């Protein structure tokens, strides 16, 4: 191989690697990305109604239905209330009082729950309300409503 052949070979490999990494990105959030509750700890005791703030790092927030490139960089929050077993994360999330969708890109809400212990968990969704792959899901916390 002469110098020119070597450099054209290297260029082909570089292009191939770029294509492969691009294909793998898809809806995959960066590994440092996370969602979390702001100022609400596991074990907290609250009075209803109370505010819940959603935090996100390494990924963005955009309204549901957003397409084009931004869908690979942003999603919208879902708040799971008293969900014991996660649903199929390859399907759109259900919409009911246990799965609250924040379609407008909201980053906080007021929750009104009956007294007792409740679990809360955040799960980000894409334009079709499907979790990213791997999912951006928070730690599940348990709170007590007085």
Instruction: Give the footprint of Cu ion on this chain (CB under 5 A).
Output: 101, 125, 129
Alpha carbons 13 and 58: distance in angstroms, whole number: 29
Q: Nearest distance from residue 80's CB to Cu ion, in Å?
A: 11
DSSP state of 129: S
Q: Is-cis flag, bond preceding 49, omega within 30? A: yes
Reported as half-sphere exposure (CB side, CA atoms, 13 A), residue 104 has a value of: 4
Residue 69 DSSP SS3: helix
Token code pair at residue 9: 């070979």
Least gap, CB of 101 to Cu ion (angstroms): 4
Q: Least CB distance from residue 51 to Cu ion, whole Å?
A: 20
C-beta of 88 vs 146, nearer to Cu ion: 88
Nearer to Cu ion, 90 or 146 (CB): 90
Closest to Cu ion by CB, 82 vs 103, is: 103
**Nearer to Cu ion (CB atom), residue 77 or residue 145:** 77
84: helix, strand or coil: coil
Is there a cis peptide before residue 59, judged by omega within 30 degrees of 0? no
């Amino acid at each position: 191989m002469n110098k020119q052949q070597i450099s054209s070979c290297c260029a082909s490999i570089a292009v191939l690697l770029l294509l492969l990494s691009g294909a793998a990105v898809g809806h995959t959030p960066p590994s440092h990305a996370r969602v979390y509750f702001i100022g609400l700890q596991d074990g907290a005791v609250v009075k209803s109604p109370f505010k819940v703030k959603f935090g996100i790092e390494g990924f963005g927030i955009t309204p549901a239905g957003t397409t084009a490139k931004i869908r690979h960089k942003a999603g919208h929050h879902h708040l799971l209330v008293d969900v014991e077993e996660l649903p199929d994360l390859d399907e759109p999330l259900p919409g009911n009082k246990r799965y609250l969708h924040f379609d407008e890109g909201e980053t906080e809400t007021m929750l009104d729950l009956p007294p007792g212990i409740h679990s809360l968990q955040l799960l980000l969704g894409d334009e079709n309300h499907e979790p990213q792959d791997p999912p951006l899901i928070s730690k599940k916390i348990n709170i007590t409503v007085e």
